[in-house]
Amino acid sequence: MRMGNIPLVPYYRPGDKRIAQDLAELAADNQAFLLANHGPVVCGESLQEAANNMEELEETAKLIFYSR
């Protein structure tokens, strides 16, 4: 669970430029985000790192779900 807190980006209609603006601001400090009404977005310095981040996010979500 190395990802820390995952920021939630508010819902915007598809294509709204504010999605990109919000992600650009958050990307300096985060490698994973949740887009309200859409789902997760991850990034990394390589495709492998992004895939690892997605797997980490998924496994962390499973742990939280099953622990409740």
Domain locations along the chain: 8-66
Q: b/e per residue, 5-41, with b = 16+ CB within 10 A?
A: ebeebeebeeeeeebeebbeebeeebbbbebeeeeeb
pLDDT value at position 1? 59
Dig out the tokens for 59 from the structure: 């496994």
pLDDT along the chain (68 residues), means of 10: 85 93 92 94 94 95 92
Beta-strand ranges (E) seen in the chain are: 8-9, 32-35, 39-42
Query: pTM for the full model?
Result: 0.80
Report the C-alpha gap between 28 and 24 in whole angstroms. 7
